[in-house]
Structure 1
Amino acid sequence: MRFVLLCLSLTLSATPSWSQESIGLAAPAEVKDSGLLQHILPRFSLKTGIRVIADDAGVMVLETAPPGDPVFARNDVIYHLRIEDNDRQTRFLEWLKSDIGKRTVESFAPADGGPYSASFDIAVVESGDIVEGDTQLGEELSMTHCGRCHVIGPRNRMNGLGSTPSFAVLRAMPDWSQRFEAFFALNPHPAFTQIDGLTPPFDPERPSPIHPVEITLDDLDAILAFVSRIDAADLGAPLKLQ
C-alpha cells in the first residue's frame, strides 16, 4: 500500500500543474486548416502546464503582418504573434522562439502544402519609414477597399488584378509613401474615390463606375501605418520608375 501511494505521489509531482483558465489563440484559416496548432499546442501545454487552445476570439493573435513577433514561416509568408502584457502569454511566445519550440514547429508535416520553418530572414525596414497609426485598422481597410484590385498580402493573394501592383511591390518603390498619400489623385482612383473633407463630390452626370471607395483622412493614416510595416518585395534590379 505504501509503495502504491509513493508511486502515486511521484506521478503527481512529475505532472505539470495545469492553469485553471485556458488562453485562446486566433490564427488565419490556412494555419488552422493545416493542423499545425493541433500539433504544437498540446506539446506546449504538456511542457508548461499552460493550456492554449485555438479560438477565433483569442487574446493572442497570429497574423501575417506586424505588429507582433515573427515566429514561423510557410510559403514565403511570415506569421507574427501578437500578445498582451501577460506572463503566460509571454511564456508561449518565448517557447515558440526557443530551440525546442522551433524544432516542434519544423517537425510538423502537413498533409497538404509546404512545411513550416522557424528559420527565416526579415526584411529590414528603415525606422524613418515607419508611420505610427492603427495598423490593424489599416489592414482591414486595405482589404475592404483596395483588395478588390490589389494583392494586399497572403489573405487575398489570389484575388488581385494582374494589371495592378501588389502592396509589397508598391512598398518597394522609393516614393511609396507619396504614392499612398496621394493615391486618390492618381488614375484610376479619382473616378471612384471619395475622401471626406478632401475630394470634391462626384459630378452627377459622371457617377462612380464602380462601388465607390469612401474613407476619411484618419482611415488613410491607418492604411499608411499598415503599409509602412509591410515587407517590401525583392524586385532584384533597381526599379525604373515612370
Structure 2
Amino acid sequence: MRHVLTVVLAIWLALPVRAEEALRLAVPEVLESAGFAGYLVPRFALKTGVRITRVGEAEAAEMRLTTDAPVVFGGLGQSWGLVHQDDPRAQRFAEWLRSEIGRKTIESFKAPDGSVFVAVKARAVAPVALEYDGDRIAGERLSLALCGRCHVVNETNRMDGMGATPSFAVLRALGDWDDRFATFHLRNPHPSFTQIADVTDPFDPTLPPPIVPLEMTQADLEAILAYVSGIPPADLGAPLHLQ
C-alpha cells in the first residue's frame, strides 16, 4: 500500500502545473488600431506579472475599455474608462492605470498620426502590491549576460562594469528601483539599443544601434526583476534624489 501511495504521489508531483489563465480585456477597435492597447498592456504585464489577452470589444471578457465608465484617460477625442468583474487581477489593473507609473505610461504613448492620451489622476490610489514571480536564477544569469557589460551586477562582474553607470545594488537602494528596471527600455540610453519582444518598436533603419543590440523577452525582464528584488540594497547614507 505504501508503495502504491508513493507511486501515486510521484505521478501527481510530475504533472505540469496549469498556468493561471490570462485575463481578457475587450478593446474598442479605435484603441486597438491606434496601437494604444498594444502599447499599454505589455507594460502592465512587465510591471506586475499579470497576463492579459486583448480581445475585440464585442467578445466576452473580464475587463472592458469603454466610454461608459468613470474616466481613466482621454484620447482620440473621447473619454475612456475601465469596467471589470471582481477579479483581484482586474482590480490591480484598474489601480495601476491610476497610479503614477500607469499615468506616465498612458501619457508616454504617441499614435502614428501624432495623437496623444491624457491620464486622469485619482484623488486617492491604493498602492499596487507588486510580486516578482520570475525565475531568480535565470534573472541573475540574464543580468550578467545582458546588463553586465555596463552595470556591476554582483561580485561576479565587479571589475567589468562602466564607472559612469550605477551598480545594481545602488539602483536597488532607490525608492523607485522597480519602476526604473521595469521601464529601463524607455530611459536613455537604452532605447537606442534595446529590443523587448512584443513591447518595443523595431529600430529605425536609418538609425542603427550604436552597440550590439540588447534583445530580450518579457519573461527575461520579469526574471531580472525577480533577481533584483532579492539583492541587498547598497548603503547610500542620506537619501539620494536622482533625476
TM-score when normalising by structure 2: 0.46
> Over alpha carbons, which structure has the higher Rg?
1
Question: Structure 1 or 2: larger strand share?
Answer: 2
